[in-house]
Amino acid sequence: MASAMSEEFEKFRLKIRNFVEKELDPVSIKIEQDTKIPDKIVDQMRQLGLFGLSIPKEYGGLGLSTIEEITIYEEITRTNACHRSRIGTSNGIGSMGILYDGTEEQKRKYLPRIAAGEWTAAFALTEPDAGSDAANISTSAVLKDDHWVLNGTKQFITNADTARVFTVIAVTDEQKRARGGVSAFIVEQGMPGLSIGSADLKMGLKGSHTNEVVFKDCQVPKENIIGGMEKVGEGFKTAMSVLDKGRLSMGACALGAAQKIMELCIEKIKNKIIEGLQKKEIQAIQFDLADMGIQIYAARQMLYNTASLRDHGGNITAEASMVKVFCTEMASRIAEKAIDIFEMDGCLTSNQIEILLRDVRLYRIYEGTSEIQRIIIARNLLKK
Ligand SMILES: Cc1cc2nc3c(=O)[nH]c(=O)nc-3n(C[C@H](O)[C@H](O)[C@H](O)COP(=O)(O)OP(=O)(O)OC[C@H]3O[C@@H](n4cnc5c(N)ncnc54)[C@H](O)[C@@H]3O)c2cc1C
């Protein structure tokens, strides 16, 4: 599949790999201590166009296909996952609702700024009582004259502290709820009644922040409903279509991390472990390495195949869930196995394996846990 990509894209991919090795890798461990990506790196990411990978060229982005975009994610997640997360919401959940269902005016107003990295975009769906059960959200939006008035609390919102624009999912009809009573809003930082809580202290993705987002009589102009007034009640569909693509991206991130972990294991085995080991032990380690190779190969085929299906207009709801479960669980297994190979060295906070192990665990939670993906997959299988 990768060989079908253009020469121009291949050059871009290599440029990103070079950027990862020269600029991102050296700051990876410091970010874990500072819990912040240096501003210089964010500027470099802007200049490379990394905030607009998936935004069409006519709106200022690079207009990459799905398969190209996930290839770039694979490259960027070969290092500290927070870098991908910093650009991920602008390329994905924070902007795709506007791209898929927004009015032309909304696309022209927001997408070029998001693509340029000038305005970070975020997506606010999860609430204290509505994570997996997204239909249970209670944030409400009531139309009063020429404004929507939003009330409620969202939690774990990636990039909320740097976001200038949020896609917010709220209930507009309490009776209908997920069946025509939920709408998607574009809320800008600075609108009265919007406030951001402090950053959550997480086990991984430390340089990428998640925060609470609170709406207290927050006033949002009437026209800021995604798609305009005729799309009132259609926000749940918007949210779900945004998540389909997000799940593929998560798969790509997990794959990039797994590939990097395997490469670090190969280096370790070649350079250090072999000396002093018995033949039996060497074979056991080789079997572990072979299993890593098999799983990564299978994951890559699944991911690329599903991305290609999406690029050809196919419905990928079930497949995207399969990819997310397989790739993210595979990455966790590989990270665990890498600790067996590295032993104490792999547990040191100065070791990249230690960072990757914590980061990949989180991939199994966001954009839907493994259990929720399995429910989606089973539902689709039973429908067929
Ligand atoms: C790093 C990170 C970034 C995030 N960024 C965002 C963001 O930008 N925007 C946003 O809106 N949200 C974001 N989230 C929130 C994320 O989407 C939720 O955490 C996730 O959907 C799970 O919800 P929850 O944490 O409330 O867990 P719960 O829904 O409470 O689930 C708890 C456990 O119960 C299981 N479970 C729940 N329902 C069922 C069921 N029906 N059958 C079987 N098992 C079930 C779950 O699988 C899980 O194991 C982020 C989360 C993380 C970790």
- Cβ-contact 193, 218 below 8 angstroms: yes
Give the per-residue pLDDT at 161: 97
Closest atom of ligand 1 relative to the 202 alpha carbon: 1
Q: Which atom of ligand 1 is nearest to the CA of 158?
A: 8
Q: State how far the Cα of 133 lies from the Cα of 131, in Å rounded to an integer.
A: 5
CATH number of 237-383: 1.20.140.10
pLDDT tens digit string along 178-231?
Answer: 899 999 999 999 999 999 999 999 999 999 999 999 999 999 999 999 999 999
The torsion angles phi and psi of 138, rounded to 5 degrees, stand at -120, -5
Distances (CA, A) of 266 to 28, 237, 259, 276, 299: 21, 44, 11, 17, 19
CA of 156 to the centre of ligand 1 (A): 9
The protein residue with its alpha carbon nearest to ligand 1, atom 25, reads: 131
Q: Tell me how crowded residue 151 is: count the other CB atoms within 10 A of its CB.
A: 16
Give the least confident one: 1-5, 35-39, 160-164, 327-331: 1-5
Residue at token pair 């547990």: 347
Q: Is 319 exposed, middle or buried (0-12, 13-18, 19+ CB in 10 A)?
A: buried
Distance 211 CA to ligand 1 centre (A): 14
Q: pTM for the full model? A: 0.95
Distance 369 CA to ligand 1 centre (A): 6
Q: Which of 267, 336, 367, 371 is catalytic?
A: 367
69 noted as active-site residue = no
Whose CA is closest to 137, among 150, 121, 146, 118? 150
DSSP states along 210-274: EEEEEEEEEEEEGGGBTT-GGGTTBHHHHHHHHHHHHHHHHHHHHHHHHHHHHHHHHHHIIIIIT
| Burial classification of residue 371, based on how many CB atoms lie within 10 Å of its CB (0-12 exposed, 13-18 middle, 19 or more buried) | exposed
| Domain ranges across the chain | 2-115, 120-233, 237-383
Q: pLDDT class for 275, splitting at 50, 70, 90?
A: low
Q: What percentage of the chain carries pLDDT values higher than 90?
A: 89
Residue range 2-115, CATH number: 1.10.540.10
| Ligand 1 atom with the shortest distance to the CA of 368 | 21
Whether residue 127 is predicted with pLDDT greater than 90 in this model: the reply is yes
Q: What CATH architecture is 120-233?
A: Beta Barrel (2.40)
Pairing outcome for strands 147-158 and 210-221: antiparallel
Contact criterion met (CB below 8 Å) for 159 and 122? yes
Nearest-CA residue for atom 12 of ligand 1: 126
Same topology, domains 2-115 and 237-383? Answer is no
Amino acid 5: pLDDT: 84
Pocket of ligand 1 (CB under 6 A): 123-126, 131-132, 156-158, 205, 210, 362, 365-366, 368-369, 371-372, 375
> How close is the Cα of 136 to the center of ligand 1, in Å?
13
Instruction: Give 220 Cα–ligand 1 centroid separation in angstroms.
Output: 27
- How far is residue 178's CA from residue 182's CA, in Å, rounded to a whole number? 6
pLDDT at 118 over 90: yes
On whether the CB atoms of residues 64 and 308 are closer than 8 A, the answer is no
State yes or no: pLDDT of 169 exceeds 60: yes
- For residue 370, CA distances in Å to 194, 203, 248, 251, 359 come to 32, 18, 13, 12, 16
Kindly state the average pLDDT of the residues 362-366. 95
Three-state secondary structure string covering 57-106: HHHCCCCCCHHHHHHHHHHHCCCCCHHHHHHHHHHCCCCHHHHHHCCHHH
- Per-residue pLDDT for 82 more than 80? yes
d(CA 74, CA 290): 21
Ligand 1 atom nearest to CA at 160: 8
